[in-house]
């Protein structure tokens, strides 16, 4: 089955549809193409404060779309060192380029070994295929 969502190789993923791109001790964090499709048109992003300490699984940011409000959960434990201020001006960057200009923040990781708990791109593809199968079965 071919998925209609973009999944970037070399990134790590969570079951809540966040991604992390690891660069040394820093993780750039955002939401996946699947997540932005589910949300619809993003109209507002509440970014985390620089300096905020988060545990993996904590709420990191909030995204408001025309459909719903959704929490963004931190894929890793660490400290917010940078936020994507461009989202204040143009929250739709999350829809247009979720893996590029639509990133949310950068974390300085406390424990880089936590990356091992995240899914690889192939794991995430398989996870989305499972979700799609479950959705189709529930429609019957």
Reported as a single tens digit per residue, the pLDDT across 50-65 is 999 999 999 999 999 9
Within 10 angstroms of residue 64's Cβ, the number of other Cβ atoms is 15
User: pLDDT value at position 137?
Assistant: 87
Q: Half-sphere exposure (CA, 13 Å, Cβ side) for 21?
A: 16
DSSP letters spanning 21-81: EEETTEEEEEE-HHHHHHH-SEEEEEPPPTT-EE-TTSEEEEEEESS-EEEEE-SS-EEEE
- Whether the pLDDT of residue 115 is over 60: the answer is yes
CATH 1.10.357.10 assigned to domain 12-139? The reply is no
Q: Cα separation of 109 and 86, whole Å? A: 23
Burial profile 100-129: b = 16 or more Cβ within 10 angstroms, e = fewer: eebbbbbbebeeeebeeebbeeeebbebbe
Q: Give the tokens for residue 10.
A: 């070399």
Reported as a single tens digit per residue, the pLDDT across 20-46 is 999 999 999 999 999 999 999 999 999
pLDDT tier, 2 (very low <50, low <70, confident <90, very high otherwise): low
- Average model confidence (pLDDT) across the chain: 95
């Amino acid at each position: 089955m071919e998925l209609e969502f973009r999944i970037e190789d070399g990134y790590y993923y969570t079951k809540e549809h966040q991604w992390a791109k690891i660069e040394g001790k820093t993780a750039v964090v955002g939401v996946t193409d699947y997540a932005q499709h589910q949300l619809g048109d993003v109209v507002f992003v509440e970014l985390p404060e620089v300096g905020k300490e988060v545990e993996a699984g904590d709420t990191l940011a909030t995204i408001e779309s025309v459909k719903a409000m959704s929490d963004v959960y931190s894929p890793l434990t660490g400290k917010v060192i940078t936020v994507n201020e461009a989202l204040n001006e143009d929250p739709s960057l999350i829809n247009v380029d979720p893996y590029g200009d639509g990133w949310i923040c950068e974390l300085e990781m406390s424990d880089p070994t936590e990356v091992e708990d995240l899914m690889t791109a192939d794991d995430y593809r398989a996870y989305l295929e499972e979700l799609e199968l479950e959705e189709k079965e529930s429609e019957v």
